[in-house]
Amino acid sequence: MGTLNAKFGKKLAKYGTFDFSACYNCGNCTAVCSLTDQEESFPRNMVRYSVLGLEDEIKSSLKPWLCYYCGDCSAYCPQEAFPGELMMSLRRWLTSRYDWTRLAGLFYRSVIWNIIAFLLIAAGVITYAFHVNFSLEHVMHVGHLFEIVAIAAVFAIILMPNIVRMWWFTIAKSGEKIPVKAYLISLRELFLHMFTQKRTLDCEKHTFRWLEHLILVIGYLTLLFTTVFLDWFSARNKIVIVFGYIVSGLVFIVTFHFVFNRIIKSKEVSRFSHHSDWFFVIWLFFMGITAFVVRLYIDINIIEDNLWLYLVHLIILVQWAVIIVPFGKWTHFLYRSFAMYFKKVLTSANQ
Amino acid sequence: MKKKIGVYICHCGGNISDYVDVEKVYAEVRNEKGVALAKITMFACADANQKEMEADIPEKDLDGVVVASCSPQLHLTTFRAVVERAGLNKYDYVHANIREQGSWAHSDNKSGATENAIHVVKAAIAKVRNAESLEPIKISSVKAVAVIGAGVSGMRSAIALAKAGCKVYIIERDHFVGGRVAQWENLFSTNETGEEIIKRLYNDTINNDNITLYTGAQVLSQSGNIGSYRLKVQINPGFVRNSVYSYEMDEAISVCPIKIPDLFNFGFTQRKAIYRNHSGQLPIMAVIDDENCTRCGDCEKVCKDIDFSQQKKEINIEVGSVLVASGFDTYTPKNNEFGYCVIDNVITLPQLKRLVAMSDRHLEYKGNRIKNIAYIYCVGSRQLDGENKYCSRYCCTAAIHTATEIRRKYKEINNYHFTRGVRTYGKQEIYYSEALKMGDVFMQSFDNELPEVLQKGNKTFVKIKDILTEQKELKLQADLVVLVTSMVPRDGISVNDLFKLPKGRDGFLKEIHLKLRPVETVIDGITIAGCCQGPMNLTESVNSALSAATKSYSYVSKGELELEPIIAKVDKEACTWCDACFKACPFDAIIKVEEGFKVFARVSDSICKGCGMCLPVCPKDAIELNSYTNREIEEMIDMLASD
């Protein structure tokens, strides 16, 4: 039995949604959705739960992650209740529920806290640089070290426990017995979706968006690999250097296009932008472009006189790694893949 | 007995002649007894043919006419007018339908259709042969209308009638005018308050010289019929001399020892036996309620305006028409219907509206601050098992409007609507949209699985199986449960019984025809307006009030009325007064007359409807119906049954 709670709507509004309570239950949104099916019917059902304030039901549902936001539901909604935007907000809300530190919720709800955190990080980096007398070599070395440590720590301390929590809410809590075999045979689904996001292709007219996303994901992961493991900024190997240029270029070109879309609001998907959306694309863009320019300055030998440039890059990198990756929109990439995995686990267990 | 009859047989451009052999019909009927002229015409209704008929009648000296063509619904009045223009009486014309009941019905059997047409035309000729000229019955009509009830419908129709120049008597049972609308604050769509509307109507009413307003009045008896209804009205005194708002009167009210529940506030508050009008009600004055006053005299001692010497008055008024606008009652839920009377915080929507009207900064009920309100819809209407099968129409909008008003007034309140499908028809849909956008929650149940109201400890819960959420069971802890009650017919309205006004299956007063004659009753001269006829919102009530005013005005405007002469008449010689016809008459049109030793029945011209119920019960065959006399009908049967 669900307990009604109309106040949930007000809570949810802080995560970006609006007007979803205008829904009069026609079901057009579900009818036009390319991704909904018999077993997993949405978004009407999620709109309904949100209106009624059935928090537990939403928390145990994977449906918000199964939506890839083509925006058709919002475009066809006769009540202008923007179900697509509601699904987006539910993903943000779920992220805040999965996050054991509760910081995700804080950053989603408040733009001020984001800015404070960003400023603190910037101050920290500058203080450290001051501490080592602005020695480029020193700063770059620690910067590189930070990348390795940050990846490991964020993953181990925040992301892993959060994914376990997601698993608890959506699968384990119901008490359903799932055989280990189901987890194993479904693993393929996890990696397939993580690296291809191929479900986007099922949204009509989204081939180009999928391609952009794919390039971004691969570009981003490769840039990560290039800078962290191939130590791009210190590399001598010509191939590695050129490769770094290409992938960082790809990242900032694609993210520039995303930012541009959000500014001109040409499509339903980019019509509404929450601050977490802006931070995500803008920081990615800055990461790409500053990495590119830093390497360029190294290659034309003027980096020594322009330490500030590397510091900017480092500040952006730390903000990205410490705020946006564990508590921001970056996690959606992870939760989406795990949602597809968990869905597969549940269906194979039921067979 | 007509001797020179003209018969016109119509082709209807093939509609008739494609199946009926018109020539054969012509040949068969041209030599019928009394037929002086027979013609075939392509379109009988065409101007050219009408002119030809007009010329034929004086030329051939015709005394009766038959046109065999389409349904009388279509052209009976057309041809009656033709014969009248040519100088005949309209009852000298008889219409034979050989299209709808001939060619069209028997298009598969041409010879049969022709036979049928021949018989129908011959029967019409037989009827016209025996037809008598009749003149409409003229009676005088008093140019005055009595309006029963001084709510919005009553006052609005009275103002309309008075402006048309008609004398109006408003008879209101209560000591104050305003009816139900006086009880409401903001009204939907215009956002005026009930008080503002009543004030406007009241001012127009008392400032119009044509209107006489009787409050504290009720009709004791009536006699007469359309054009002249005589009503005996009793006027109850208020026992208060002048209506000035005085300190002494306040004192008189405070010393009164009698306390009774105040029905204006649905029993939420109490009033004394001497009490003032509520805001919304008019006129501004205090009255003593005769029924509950014990004449202890305490008020008299402190206030000089009290006057117990006032007496009941009886007055007689005569009007040409009566307009009934006696309003509705709100449904009172049965004991334990959704917890009513059993669970503390279960009230009705009208009660909630009064509660809001009386509340200030917070909405409180029995000392508890209200946060969550559950509205349960369709209480007392659309009942699966109960008697009220009808949809009460106004309640969805009323509940939603009240809920949004509450939300505007008290920000902390959440509204939960337990509906059976929201029916905010027409423009009222805007309110539904608005409520949704404000975050009101709407759920819906089937009529066989209604929501449940439960009490656990000191908490009240409402449970529903919501068909909008995959039939999921949902539960709410409610601070206040509001039963959205329906409109029900008002009990104890004396005029309803005095005039024997017919009621529908729902118990509301019944019109003659819902679509075509929506404000007339089968009692000639009595019209109905507003919610005495069925649930209506204010707009609809005023529409019906103005419509009823127009209809009532049409009965009295000329000072004279023309009635259809097709009525029963009694052969006074043959009648021996057995009272069979008296019992059979549904309209009380039979009057017992004694002239010396002779006792016989007489038919009241103005009451008789010509229904014919008295005819077959008469053992002496002493009653005939104009235009359907025994001879006419018998000869028609002979013709229809002939080979």
* Region of B96 on the Ramachandran plot (φ > 0 left; ψ -120 to 50 alpha; else beta): beta
How many other CB atoms are there within 10 angstroms of residue A309's CB atom? 16
**Residue B231: partners with Cβ closer than 8 Å, 6 or more residues away:** B146, B171, B219, B221, B222, B316, B317, B318, B319, B322
Asked if B414's CB is within 8 angstroms of A6's CB, the reply is: yes
The CATH number of residue B589's host domain is: 3.30.70.20
Which of B469, B638, B641, B636 is CA-nearest to residue B123?
A: B636
Q: Could B436 and A10 be called an inter-chain contact, meaning their C-beta atoms sit closer than 8 Å?
A: no
Same domain, B353 and B440: yes
* B371–chain A Cβ distance below 8 A for any pair: no
pLDDT at B606: 83
- Note whether B347 and B394 are same-domain residues: yes
Distance CA B131, CA B124 (A): 10
Please indicate, yes or no, whether residues B96 and B24 belong to a single structural domain of this protein. yes
Q: What is the CATH number of the domain that holds B25?
A: 3.40.50
Q: Which chain B residue is nearest to residue A41, measuring alpha carbons?
A: B470
Q: What is the 3-state secondary structure (H, E, C) of chain A?
A: CEECCCCHHHHHHCCCCCCHHHCCCCCHHHHHCCCCCCCCCCCHHHHHHHHHCCHHHHHCCCHHHHCCCCCHHHHHCCCCCCHHHHHHHHHHHHHHHHCCCCHHHHHHHCHHHHHHHHHHHHHHHHHHHHHCCCCHHHHHHHHHHHHHHHHHHHHHHHHHHHHHHHHHHHCHHHCCCCCHHHHHHCHHHHHHHHHHCHHHHHCCCCHHHHHHHHHHHHHHHHHHHHHHCCCHHHCCCHHHHHHHHHHHHHHHHHHHHHHHHHHHCCCHHHCCCCHHHHHHHHHHHHHHHHHHHHHHHHHCCCCHHHHHHHHHHHHHHHHHHHHHHHHCCHHHHHHHHHHHHHHHHHHHHHC
Checking if the pLDDT of A205 tops 80, the result is no
Q: Which residues of A touch B414 (CB under 8 A)?
A: 6-7
Residues on chain B touching A23 (C-beta within 8 angstroms): 436
Closest CA of chain A from B339, distance in Å: 20
**Phi then psi for B9, rounded to 5 degrees?**
-110, 125
Q: In what order do the strands lie in the sheet with B5-10?
A: B35-41, B5-10, B64-69, B93-97
Residue B20's closest CA among B120, B124, B128? B120
> Of the candidates B74, B106, B134, which is a domain's last residue?
B134
Alpha-carbon distance A133 to A127, whole Å?
10
How close is the nearest chain A Cα to the Cα of B321, in Å?
48
Cα-based angle A288, A294, A296 (whole degrees, multiple of 5)? 100
Q: Residue B102 gets which letter from DSSP?
A: I
φ, ψ for residue A106, nearest 5 deg: -60, -45
B294 and B270 in one domain? yes
CB contact under 8 A, A6 and B463: no
Confidence of residue A197 (pLDDT cuts 50, 70, 90): confident
Do B538 and B592 fall into the same domain? no
Same domain, residue pair B334 and B317: no
Question: pLDDT exceeding 70 applies to what percent of chain A?
Answer: 100
* Nearest CB to A3 within list B440, B443, B475: B475
> Residue A319 pLDDT > 90, yes or no?
yes
Inter-chain CB proximity B474 and A2 less than 8 Å: yes
| Cross-chain Cβ contact A52/B474 below 8 Å | yes
How far does A28 lie from chain B, in Å, by closest CA?
Answer: 14
Domain edge (last residue) among B464, B488, B512: B488
The pLDDT assigned to B315 comes to 97
Q: Are residues B17 and B36 in the same domain?
A: yes
In the prediction, which pLDDT does A199 show? Answer: 86
CA distance B281 to B177: 6
Q: Do A51 and B441 touch (CB under 8 A)?
A: yes
Strands of B228-235's sheet, edge to edge? Answer: B217-225, B228-235, B313-319
Is residue B613 in a domain? Answer: yes
- Chain A residues whose CB is inside 8 A of the B468 CB are 25, 48
**B476/A4 touch (CB, cutoff 8 Å), yes or no:** yes
Whether residues B113 and B153 fall in one domain: no
Fold assignment, A103-350: Fumarate Reductase Cytochrome B subunit (1.20.950)
CB B370 within 8 A of CB B481: no
Give strand ranges (E) for B63-216.
64-69, 93-97, 137-140, 144-148, 167-171, 211-214
Judge whether B641 lies within some domain. no
Angle CA(A27)–CA(A29)–CA(A31) in degrees, nearest 5?
70
- Of the partner residues B415, B433, B441, the one whose CB lies closest to the CB of residue A52: B441
Helix (H, G, I), strand (E, B) or coil at B435: helix
Q: Name the residue facing A22 among B372, B433, B469 (closest C-beta).
A: B433
A114-118 contacts at long range (C-beta below 8 A, 24 or more positions apart): A114/A275, A114/A279, A114/A323, A117/A319, A117/A322, A117/A323, A118/A319, A118/A323
From B100, B134, B168, give the residue that closes a domain.
B134
Question: Is B428 at the interface with chain A, CB within 8 A?
Answer: no
Interface touch A4/B468, C-beta < 8 Å: no
**Is the backbone of residue B128 left (phi > 0), alpha (psi -120 to 50) or beta?**
alpha
Query: Could you tell me which residues come within 8 angstroms of residue B199 by beta carbon, excluding any fewer than 6 positions away?
Result: B282
Quote the domain boundaries for residue B277.
Answer: 247-302
- Residue A54 pLDDT > 90: yes
Which residue has better confidence, B544 or A2?
A: B544
Identify whether B632 is part of a domain. Answer: no
A8-98: CATH, from 3.50.50.60, 2.30.30.140, 1.10.1060.10, 3.90.960.10: 1.10.1060.10
Cα gap A6→B415, rounded to integer Å: 8
Show the tokens assigned to A192: 């397939």
Nearest chain B alpha carbon to A46: B469
Instruction: Kindly identify which residue of chain B lies nearest to residue A79, measuring between CA atoms.
Output: B433
B428 and B370, same structural domain? yes
Residues of chain B under the 50 pLDDT cut? none
* Chain A interface mutation, best of B460, B474, B477, highest count of A Cβ atoms under 10 Å: B474
Suggest the residue from B375, B445, B472 to mutate for an interface test with chain A (most A CBs closer than 10 A): B472
Q: Could you say which of A6, A10, A79 has the minimum Cβ distance to residue B441? A: A6
Q: How far is B353 from chain A (nearest CA, A)?
A: 22
Q: DSSP code of B4?
A: -
Q: What is the predicted pLDDT for the residue at A25?
A: 93
Q: Do B473 and A2 touch (CB under 8 A)?
A: yes
Say yes or no: B264 and B318 in one domain.
Answer: no
This model of the complex carries an ipTM of 0.89
Does residue B348 share a domain with residue B400? Answer: yes
The answer to the question of residue B72 being in a domain is yes
Answer whether residue B272 is part of any domain.
Answer: yes
| Numbered residues of chain A with Cβ closer than 8 Å to any chain B Cβ | 1-4, 6-7, 9-10, 19, 21-25, 45, 48-49, 51-54, 79
Element at B26 (helix H, strand E): helix B22-29
Cβ–Cβ contacts within 10 Å for residue A209, how many?
A: 21
Domain residue limits, chain A:
8-98, 103-350
Nearest-Cα residue of chain A relative to residue B436: A22
CA distances from B264 to A249, B236, B256 (A): 78, 20, 19
Q: What residues in B contact A55, CB-CB < 8 Å? A: none
Structure tokens belonging to residue B246: 């005085």
- Distance in angstroms between the alpha carbons of the first and the last residue of chain A: 27
Total tally of structural domains belonging to chain B: 5
* Angle, in degrees to the nearest 10, between helices A83-98 and A160-170: 120
pLDDT computed for residue B459 by the predictor:
94
- The reply to whether B640 falls in a domain is no
- Give the dihedral of Cα atoms B356, B359, B361, B363; nearest 10 deg: -60
B339 and B480 in a single domain? The answer is yes
